[in-house]
Amino acid sequence: MTETSPTLPAGSLSGKTALVTGSSRGIGADTTRYLAEAGANVVINYRNKAPRAEKLATELRELGVEVLVVGADLTDPDSVQAMFDEVGRAFGSLDILVLNASGGMESGMAEDYALRLNRDAQVRVLETALPLLGDGSRVVFVTSHQAHFIRTTPTMPEYEPVALSKRAGEDALRERIPALSERGIGFVVVSGDMIEGTITATLLERANPGAIAARRDDAGKLYNVSEFAAEVAAAALDPVPAGNTRLVGDTSSFAGE
């Protein structure tokens, strides 16, 4: 099991700029906080939680870093382009891009929403950000063991469509590793077990009561939001691991490919 990383060394990201998608709350918000505490200027991205994003921005500005808050619908190409245009005007470049936003279990969404958000939008965000990413920059994609290992290890039926779409997104991004490497851009997939306190865990528990407790019993421990966010933040700074994959938490229940 991977030990929880300490927060990043003070000043280790001074002068850097980081954007975390879906960062008004949860894992994204805590990841952004860790990056800002290490000295990075940060971009908080949200879809429809503007007050929450602005509250986080106010907190982080007290650290002495610059904070930009940008609302964007990641499934809308024009919205994504407008977000990075604003980042370019504010900072000129981007050093860290964390692809954290995901979904697919929300009610009332189109049948293909999970695939559009978890695959198509992830690739679009990366491609739109490329002009701002230079040599030495880092892209981090956040996923779950249930998605990362979906080809070899079945997951609960309620989560399967999301898991398949997130794995499709991971695969599409991995295809771009050679091109990213040519530009000096590092790429890391951070895969974690079910995370206590996330929206996904809450929705899963609602659909399948007892699912989270059962997974906790199997794994021995589930990370909470802040613990997992520390791992995501560390992936933005640590050397790129073998296979471009940082596994967080127990994987003994999952069969490798």
User: Can you give the pLDDT at residue 2?
Assistant: 40
- Scored b (16 or more CB within 10 A) or e, 158-192 reads ebebbbbbbbbbbeebbebbeebeeeebbbbbbbb
CA 39/CA 7 separation, integer angstroms:
12
Diameter of the chain measured on Cα atoms: 49
pLDDT by 10-residue block (mean), the chain, 257 residues: 60 97 95 97 94 97 98 96 98 98 76 90 98 98 95 89 95 98 98 76 73 74 87 97 94 82
- CA pseudo-torsion sign 47, 51, 54, 60: negative
Q: What are φ and ψ of residue 38, in 5° steps?
A: -85, 0
User: Can you give the pLDDT at residue 200?
Assistant: 67
Q: How far is CA 167 from CA 172, 207, 245, in A?
A: 9, 21, 13
CB 164 within 8 A of CB 146: no
> Rounded to two decimals, what is the model's pTM?
0.92
User: Can you give the pLDDT at residue 212?
Assistant: 74
Which two structure tokens, joined as six digits, stand for 85?
A: 């245009």
Neighbours of 124 (CB within 10 A): 17
User: Can you give the pLDDT at residue 4?
Assistant: 40
User: Can you give the pLDDT at residue 67?
Assistant: 98
Distance spanning both ends of the chain, measured CA to CA: 19
Name the DSSP class of 116. Answer: I
User: Can you give the pLDDT at residue 179?
Assistant: 97
| Residues in CB range of 44: below 8 A, 6 or more apart | 20, 23, 24, 29, 32, 53, 56, 57, 60, 67, 68, 69, 70
Q: How far is CA 22 from CA 32, 96, 132, in A?
A: 10, 14, 19
Q: How far is CA 185 from CA 41, 128, 139, 140, in A?
A: 19, 14, 7, 11
The domains of the chain, with CATH numbers, are 17-194+223-248 (3.40.50.720)
Q: Is 76 helix (H, G, I), strand (E, B) or coil?
A: coil
User: Can you give the pLDDT at residue 256?
Assistant: 79
The DSSP-derived string for 48-61 is S-HHHHHHHHHHHH
